[in-house]
Structure 1
Amino acid sequence: MAKDRFIYGSIIMIFMNIFIRIVGFAYEVTLSKLLGAEAMGWFQIAMSTLMVFLVLTISGIPTAVTKLVAQENSNNNQYNVEKIYRTTIIFNFSIAIILSTILLFSAKFIALKVLKNEDMLLGVYLLIPPIIIISLSNVLRSYFYGKKDMITPSVAQLIEHFTRFTIVIGMISYFSPLNPLYGAIIAILGISIGEFFDLMWSLSAKKRLYNSQIFATKNKWSHKIALHKIIKVSVPLTISGFFNVALNFLNTILLPSRLIDAGYTSSLAIATFGRITGMAMPLIHLPFVVTSALVINLIPSLSEQVMLKKHIQIKSDIQLAIKATLLVSIPLTTIYVILSKPIATFLYNDPTAANFIHIMGYSTMLLALQHTFSGILCGLDKQTSSTINRIIGSSLRIFLIYILVGNPNLEIYGFFIAFFVTNILILLLDIISLRKTIHIKFDYFDILLKPLFASLFMVGYIKITTYDLVNLHRVNPLAFVFSIGVAFLAYIFILILTQAIPKDFFSKIFSIKA
């Protein structure tokens, strides 16, 4: 019965995750189209600033909560499960208040000295509420994941995305046309709007579903013990998150400034940054629809399997997760590389973005694999290795950006070189870390070449059946959607024909557990 409930929850979560990602992607695309590249550049800079203040509460602690709740829940120790939740809520709230206060008093300095635009002061102030809200909602989400309740946090995220889309896009449409800075400020306000509804739903669900009286057990934890265990698990991930966020923030500030040094105007530099982070990045992160669901399932599942020493099951689940990641990321990589021009025109009405989508499209598979490997290593209790790998890669990226982007002969292509070199390095280091932990063999013909062949067939079908890809606005939308749908079915058919998808593949995906 418990297994059936978990499988059912996993199926619902994956489909809801797809729908959530579609809503989120539609929001990002609509936002980019309405605001333009420069406003998206300012918005992404604000997001990087927010992440610097959130790193202590969301980088390692939620994962620690998921792991510890899963372990204590498997031991049927609900007293400790609730102690973990309450301790983390108090701890995260306290840190969030301190961080919000720091941001309040340093807002003017950040606007003038870091963002170098006094008009962004209001935008900086609007980053204060999300620090508290997101710090709390992440604890609740990780608690539900640890309890193997995949539906409740999925509903919360759906509410978050839908309310943000409706209110923010409505405001922008009402006040349009907008100055790029004012548009960015409305988008920043949207962070608080969506996260507030997420938090309210999660608190309500926690009270409704898991608020029964919990009796003490022999192995009961105090707040001190719970906090010690949370910190012990979260510290390596927090360190990794801190370095990643700090280096990403440096990248956010450094990239536009080095582009200016290479000869770009300030407006063009911010617009270029906006095209990368606000237009190309959402596309190459689309495989996270699947990898997020896999990672959420893998971390508690592998943690339990490690405790129970189920080595065969561990290998099977890892192989399955990597194969699923490639089956999703390879066709998307092919689409972005071959169809970058029609995508840029159709989604953003910005032909200039096509070159960014084409080049960065090659990294789709790299980023998807990185995401899955991070979950695998964390589930195997090798989060320290994952941390070190990402610190090495991120540090090297900053160095390469500083050296290459400022070169007038390379300009933005210096960023692309740095981006690919460091992502390949991180993935190789992850593979080495995994092989040191557990020996696994892969059939590369099966997991790489078969999906690639099916992807080329899929893209070929789209090109043949859509008569004017370059000018998609002239194409009947229903006909184009039909073409995409048939092409996807053709991709699945080729995978089945080549036996890249075993008969029991989906049942195994949905039943990843100890």
Structure 2
Amino acid sequence: MKKNSFVYGSILLTLVNFFIRFIGFSYDILLSKLIGAEGIGLFQMIMPVLMIFLIITTAGIPTAVSKLIAEYNSKNNYDAVRKTYKVALLFTLALSIGLSLILILFSRFIALKIFRNQDALRCIYLLPPAMVLISMTSVIRGYYYGLKMMGTASISEIVEHVTRFIIVIGLLYYIYPLDPIQGAFIAICGISIGEFFDLIWLLFIQTRFTKRLPYVIPTPIKMTKLLWQILTISAPLTISGFFNVILQFVNAILIPHRLMASGYTNSEAIATFGRVMGMAMPLTYLPYFVTSALVINIIPNLSEQVFLKNYKPARNTIHLAVKITLLVSIPLTALYVFFAKPLAVYLYNDPKASEAIYMMGFCTVFLAMQHTFSGILHGLGKQKNTTIHRIISMSLQFAAIYYLVGNPTYGIYGYFIGFFLCTLSICILDFYTLWKMTKIKFKYVDLLIKPFFAAILMIFLIFMTQQRFLSINFHLSIGFVYSLIIGGLGYIFVLLTTKAIPRNLLHMLFRIDR
């Protein structure tokens, strides 16, 4: 007898995601004001270096730990749980230290040959502590996710963001005004500061929790076998993550160059790239607030259910995850397509961004679905399939960028075509793999038809209320916000009326599973 841990955990993680993103957004705004454009520019220039190295330790290993811990915990094999955690932690520590030494060894080449910036060299020297700490905390969080201790892992992320915010922003205010380069150093050190307090919290909780685990007779399972299991699961995810980071890096270089080849000036190419990546893309990824929580939660959940051969609850969990994803992404897709210009004006004060928001809006639902599908397939042990699907699809996107963006007939529309083909092909391939493996029967009326008609009513309400506010000379931006609220309430009303969202939702969260 237990609570509906998947629903409860997903909602908890979604709320934590909202809080963390709010803290992160506030931190970025204040950081920009305090260290200036030059300091932020140096900070942003160094971050991709850290991310490329971190992909090796954080893209697949925490997921593998979460999956294996969930499986061993489901059969009360606490010795294997402890050994898996220990092996993963020691391996990640050794790997992150090795990568840090490589980074230090090539730091001068990266700073002086690639960035051509002497200040970047000193910034790179500050990255190894962050690399080691982030790698360690990611593995420990994977351990807690595998044990379904969502609250503990969620609090650790809050500890990281809040302590970094308080210490870094407080220090910058104390010594303000300051040199921008000095500000960039403090911002980079802030990464390690937040992760250090996060690690202290996780280790403190881990010590208290370990004492409560029952003693069991050690099992003959070898450490080398556990390490091989971790590597087998994590390797495809690491490769996929590495390709994704490289593609982002290539996009930042290739898209402006290909736009100039198609007739854009340098300033037009950079501005167009900024509108796509800096304005439209964050909106397109907005459903990740919810899908990230689903993916983190569903991997250990499905791993445990499949290991115990509880196939019916596993199918119900998959159906629920897909349903939640569509309920969130369909109205956002409609909003971006029908109200791209108001969003561009009210959010960014840039009407030209509306074209990018409109075109990228069509990808929103597919981007959200492929994120959820990836979590489901990882939970089912199909990480190799998801890696192959993403490599194939990213190749399509790269080809579209290279051949279409440089063509004056297409220009930036070549990128939109490539991104749409990439997200759509991943969705189709993932869905086919999922259906072939589970033979799951989706309730398409609930999943698609009901939210589609609810989204139509939402768009109608937003349009009508916006016109009404305009007729009485109401403040434009405030009126648009009120229109969004009214439209959103109308969307929820239709879902409740048609039982797409169960009316007894709160009861579901705390009901006892049979």
After TM superposition, the score normalised by the length of structure 2 is 0.85
Structure 1 stretch 231-240 or stretch 194-203: which is displaced more?
194-203
Q: Which residue of 1 aligns with 2:93?
A: 93
Distance 2:348 2:30 in 1: 8
Structure 1 stretch 501-510 or stretch 75-84: which is displaced more?
501-510
Distance 1:81 1:446 in 2: 39
Q: Which residue of 2 aligns with 1:407?
A: 407
Distance 1:460 1:121 in 2: 55
**Post-superposition shift, 1:86?**
1.8
Structure 1 stretch 70-79 or stretch 373-382: which is displaced more?
70-79
**Post-superposition shift, 1:100?**
1.6
Q: Which residue of 1 aligns with 2:136?
A: 136
- Matched position secondary structure for 2:106: helix
Distance 1:456 1:38 in 2: 45
Distance 1:32 1:265 in 2: 28
Structure 1 stretch 345-354 or stretch 79-88: which is displaced more?
345-354
Could you tell me which amino acid in structure 1 is paired with residue 152 of structure 2?
A: T
Q: Within 5 Å, which residues of 2 pair with 1:150-299?
A: 150-165=150-165, 190-212=190-212, 215-264=215-264, 269-299=269-299
Q: Which residue of 2 aligns with 1:80?
A: 80
- How many residues end up aligned between the 2 structures? 510
- Determine if contact 1:41/1:273 at 8 Å carries over to the other structure: no
**Post-superposition shift, 1:8?**
5.2
Shift in CA distance, 446/5, structure 1 to aligned 2, threshold 3 Å: closer
Distance 1:489 1:397 in 2: 37
Q: Which residue of 2 aligns with 1:356?
A: 356
- Determine if contact 2:451/2:500 at 8 Å carries over to the other structure: yes
**Post-superposition shift, 1:147?**
0.7
Structure 1 stretch 143-152 or stretch 264-273: which is displaced more?
264-273
Q: Which residue of 1 aligns with 2:430?
A: 430
Distance 2:342 2:34 in 1: 18
Structure 1 stretch 7-16 or stretch 304-313: which is displaced more?
7-16
**Post-superposition shift, 1:374?**
0.4
Distance 1:255 1:39 in 2: 25
Shift in CA distance, 368/172, structure 1 to aligned 2, threshold 3 Å: farther
Q: Which residue of 2 aligns with 1:396?
A: 396
**What is the CA deviation profile of residues 152-176 of structure 1, one whole-angstrom value per residue up to 9, with x for unaligned ones?**
1111222333344556677889969
Distance 1:507 1:153 in 2: 25
Structure 1 stretch 107-116 or stretch 366-375: which is displaced more?
107-116
- Determine if contact 1:319/1:442 at 8 Å carries over to the other structure: yes
Structure 1 stretch 504-513 or stretch 424-433: which is displaced more?
504-513
Q: Which residue of 2 aligns with 1:344?
A: 344
Shift in CA distance, 86/433, structure 1 to aligned 2, threshold 3 Å: same
**What is the CA deviation profile of residues 273-318 of structure 1, one whole-angstrom value per residue up to 9, with x for unaligned ones?**
4443333222222212221222222211211222222222222221
Could you tell me which amino acid in structure 2 is paired with residue 66 of structure 1?
A: S
Distance 1:186 1:483 in 2: 42
- Matched position secondary structure for 1:3: coil
Shift in CA distance, 512/409, structure 1 to aligned 2, threshold 3 Å: farther
Identity of aligned residues (%): 50
- Determine if contact 2:9/2:297 at 8 Å carries over to the other structure: no
Shift in CA distance, 339/237, structure 1 to aligned 2, threshold 3 Å: same
Could you tell me which amino acid in structure 2 is paired with residue 80 of structure 1?
A: A
Q: Which residue of 1 aligns with 2:59?
A: 59
- Matched position secondary structure for 1:210: helix
**What is the CA deviation profile of residues 17-69 of structure 1, one whole-angstrom value per residue up to 9, with x for unaligned ones?**
33334444555677789999999887666444322211211111111100111
Structure 1 stretch 185-194 or stretch 443-452: which is displaced more?
185-194
Q: Which residue of 2 aligns with 1:498?
A: 498
Q: Which residue of 2 aligns with 1:376?
A: 376
Gaps of 5+ in 1: none
Distance 1:397 1:57 in 2: 26
**What is the CA deviation profile of residues 388-431 of structure 1, one whole-angstrom value per residue up to 9, with x for unaligned ones?**
10111112222221222223443322221211111111111111
- Determine if contact 1:259/1:405 at 8 Å carries over to the other structure: yes
Distance 1:503 1:383 in 2: 36
**Post-superposition shift, 1:491?**
1.3
Shift in CA distance, 374/183, structure 1 to aligned 2, threshold 3 Å: farther
- Determine if contact 1:66/1:142 at 8 Å carries over to the other structure: yes
Distance 1:14 1:149 in 2: 15
- Determine if contact 2:401/2:415 at 8 Å carries over to the other structure: yes
Larger radius of gyration: 2
Structure 1 stretch 98-107 or stretch 352-361: which is displaced more?
352-361
Q: Which residue of 2 aligns with 1:305?
A: 305
- Determine if contact 1:40/1:278 at 8 Å carries over to the other structure: no
Q: Which residue of 1 aligns with 2:108?
A: 108
- Determine if contact 2:46/2:123 at 8 Å carries over to the other structure: yes
Shift in CA distance, 204/486, structure 1 to aligned 2, threshold 3 Å: farther
Could you tell me which amino acid in structure 2 is paired with residue 249 of structure 1?
A: F
- Determine if contact 2:325/2:368 at 8 Å carries over to the other structure: yes
After TM superposition, the score normalised by the length of structure 1 is 0.85
Could you tell me which amino acid in structure 2 is paired with residue 323 of structure 1?
A: K
Distance 2:34 2:338 in 1: 26
Structure 1 stretch 65-74 or stretch 479-488: which is displaced more?
479-488
Shift in CA distance, 422/454, structure 1 to aligned 2, threshold 3 Å: same
Gaps of 5+ in 2: none
- Matched position secondary structure for 2:441: coil
Could you tell me which amino acid in structure 1 is paired with residue 335 of structure 2?
A: I
Q: Which residue of 1 aligns with 2:70?
A: 70
Distance 1:347 1:417 in 2: 25
Q: What's the Cα RMSD here?
A: 3.7
Could you tell me which amino acid in structure 1 is paired with residue 256 of structure 2?
A: P
